Structure 1
Amino acid sequence: MAARTGGGPAGTRSRAPVPHRLDRPALGAWAGTRLGVLVLSVSVAAIWSYGDFKDSFLERWTQWDVDLFIEIAKYGYRGDPGRPPDAGLPAFFPGLPILIRTVHYAVPSWELSALLISLVAGGVAMVALARLGGAGTGPKAVLALLLSPYAVFLFAGYSESLFLAFAIPAWLLARQHRWEAAMLCAMGAACVRVTGIFLAVALIVEFLVNDRRWRLSPLLVMPFLPVAVYTLYQWRRTGDWLAWQHAQQEGWGRSLAWPWEAFHTTWQAAFGEHNEFTGAFRVELAGAVVGVALTCWLLFRRRWPEAVYVGLPLASLLTSAFYLSIGRATLLWWPLWLAIGASRRPVYAVVILLSVPLLVWEIVLFTSGSWAG
């Protein structure tokens, strides 16, 4: 893989027609895989329930965090007044719930609103990823991401698609040295997920390594502003400056731990007593291995901005009380998908052949209400 796939401003401008030729295959791959997921989920429901559709299509796709995003969109962070208070709600940044509420003004169904956001945002993200990778790598990277085991969450009303729709364009614009637009996109990403903070730090490294026009440096503060505003809002609401962190602890039992303690706890959960989450913890361990290997590879290649973008959130996940959401976090690691897209054909083919059955299984788990990551 080239050290600067998608390149700086001069290289990008000299090949301006190329990225636009990549838009159609990227959108085609997005639409084709969305149709495939839709058909598969309906078929699985028919087989799983022996033709008796007890839950509607939208209900099958409104599982786990989707319910919580919709609850925030409906009632705010106080939650449903008809239920006990949910201390974990502040763990979710407000970008997606606000957008769900906005789309709901035009779309009667809350569940459909969430799915439509993922549909549109995912298309934007795939076009940006194809352009970032360039003609040789971009389309293959898009397909690898869309067929990856956790790509089920790019279809569901989760925040990954929306985050990528802001974050990858921010990265692409920064590579083109268009910092004003890049920072606006990064602000959008920071409204959606806490990962936006790590993106902001990585963009600072990108600026220091490849630009250094100091008159533009004040722009680098912009992605931190939504996080500051959200922190202030939660403080005004709860009196707690660390409301987000405490919501992680109270909602999911996630607290700071030494890396070896987190690994030991996860290992025990993965290979100790068998239960419905055993397989998920094994996937978390595999995701951790991939993340560490990717970070080391990026450091070896001196890809400092990408190493920061992948390494910092990975470090936070590896120092949690136990591993959670690392597998799903792989969806956000576009350096991984670009590296796979740039790999040799046999390697690429093996990755795809291994990924597709796992993706099918994840779709089965998610739409049946089981924990899928």
Structure 2
Amino acid sequence: MLGGSDADYYMAGIIISNVFFFLALVFLYLLVDELFDASIARMSIFYLAFAPYALFFFIGYTEALFLFLCILVFFCLQKAIKTRRLIYWLLAGIGGLFAALSRSQGVLLAVPFLVVFIQQYFSRQNFSTTTWRQKILAFIPIVLIPLGVGIYMLYLWHTKGDPLLFSKAEALGWGRKLTPPWISVANAIKAALLPDMLQIQNILNLASLAGAIIALMMGWRRLPLHYTIFAALLIIFPLLYPLGKADGLTALPRYMLIIFPIAIIFASYKGPRFEKVLLALTFPIFTVTILLFISHYWVA
């Protein structure tokens, strides 16, 4: 039904994105409702759905799928804490595996998994109440998360003869190479000061980065530790592989988009004044990105 032409593949991508974004919103609501309350849960999905670059959740990119899988892992970890059932550790590992298959950042989910595992089984109050068998069985699924990248590498080796082809393509085709994050930011600042066609793009990239950092710094105490650490890692990761110097942080607003803990932080600040100010800052950008996209203008 959906295959055989570019239009069919495009429609398939849009359908998949919208289905998984809907599921992401459902699981985010359930997650935040259990973690905080229903009002914060409602505002979390609202802020996420109308984030400045939320357009990318609907148009056939990997954002919606990756977001859903990340939220699913956190949902399973939360259930593992609450119920102490080993099945949720396994489901968290499986979710992380598919997240790593969809995006390389998925391997970062191993960190919140490890944090929750240590808190659950090696804290003073829990260490003596659980057996080593329980600890080992709960820990084993963490191996599934980096296995996602391993499976993709195996696929590339089998079909293309080179398991590192994705890394080489990034370096040769896009000019991406491992760079200290402060160098990436410094280059973006220098580029933003140059009056050329990329100036506005660099300013928007830096603004999205600054917004994510400020939000996390102001609200990290409102979140469990593994949420904060995961959000910080998602901020840092794209800075490690800039796209050259002229527009090194290209697509950064998309990468900041999937940091769902920031939406939870915003939702935790209750009050009509804060909501109005935040929407006044974000909703116009949301509207402009949609207008640009439907006008066939590339939005990164």
TM-score, normalising length from structure 2?
A: 0.81
Structure 1: distance between partners of 2:195 and 2:175 = 19
- Match of 1:226? 148
- Match of 1:8? none
Supply the AA of the counterpart residue of 1:287: S
What is the aligned-residue identity percentage?
Answer: 25
- Give the conservation status (yes or no) of the 8 Å contact 2:117–2:138: no
C-alpha spacing 1:299/1:210, structure 2 compared with 1 (3 Å) = farther
Structure 2: distance between partners of 1:184 and 1:262 = 33
- Match of 2:75? 172
SS in structure 1 of the partner of residue 53 of structure 2:
helix
Aligned partner of 1:150 among 53, 60, 63? 53
Supply the AA of the counterpart residue of 1:355: T
C-alpha spacing 1:353/1:306, structure 2 compared with 1 (3 Å) = same
- Give the conservation status (yes or no) of the 8 Å contact 1:198–1:308: no
Which structure exhibits the higher relative contact order, with contacts defined as CA atoms closer than 8 Å and separated by 6 or more residues? 1
Structure 2: distance between partners of 1:230 and 1:205 = 26
Supply the AA of the counterpart residue of 1:191: L
- Match of 1:325? 251
C-alpha spacing 1:273/1:236, structure 2 compared with 1 (3 Å) = farther
Per-residue deviation, 1:347: 1.2
C-alpha spacing 1:109/1:241, structure 2 compared with 1 (3 Å) = closer
Gaps of 5+ in 2: 81-87, 123-133, 243-247
Task: Give the root-mean-square deviation of aligned CA atoms.
Answer: 2.4
- Give the conservation status (yes or no) of the 8 Å contact 1:180–1:219: yes
- Match of 2:284? 357
Supply the AA of the counterpart residue of 2:147: L
1:372 and 2:282 are equivalent in the alignment: no
C-alpha spacing 1:211/1:174, structure 2 compared with 1 (3 Å) = farther
Aligned partner of 2:262 among 291, 315, 336? 336
1:195 and 2:105 are equivalent in the alignment: yes
Supply the AA of the counterpart residue of 1:223: I
Residues 69-218 of structure 1 aligned to structure 2 (within 5 Å): 104=3, 109-134=8-33, 135-177=38-80, 178-211=88-121, 213-214=134-135, 215-218=137-140
- Per-residue CA deviation, residues 243-264 of structure 1 (Å, 9 max, x unaligned), is 2222222232222223332122
1:287 and 2:201 are equivalent in the alignment: no
TM-score, normalising length from structure 1?
A: 0.66
Gaps of 5+ in 1: 1-101
Supply the AA of the counterpart residue of 1:233: Y
Per-residue deviation, 1:302: 7.5
Aligned partner of 2:182 among 248, 253, 260? 260
SS in structure 1 of the partner of residue 55 of structure 2:
helix
- Per-residue CA deviation, residues 38-83 of structure 1 (Å, 9 max, x unaligned), is xxxxxxxxxxxxxxxxxxxxxxxxxxxxxxxxxxxxxxxxxxxxxx
Residues 38-77 of structure 1 aligned to structure 2 (within 5 Å): none
- Give the conservation status (yes or no) of the 8 Å contact 1:280–1:372: no
Structure 2: distance between partners of 1:302 and 1:333 = 13
- Give the conservation status (yes or no) of the 8 Å contact 1:288–1:318: no
- Match of 1:68? none
| Matched length | 270
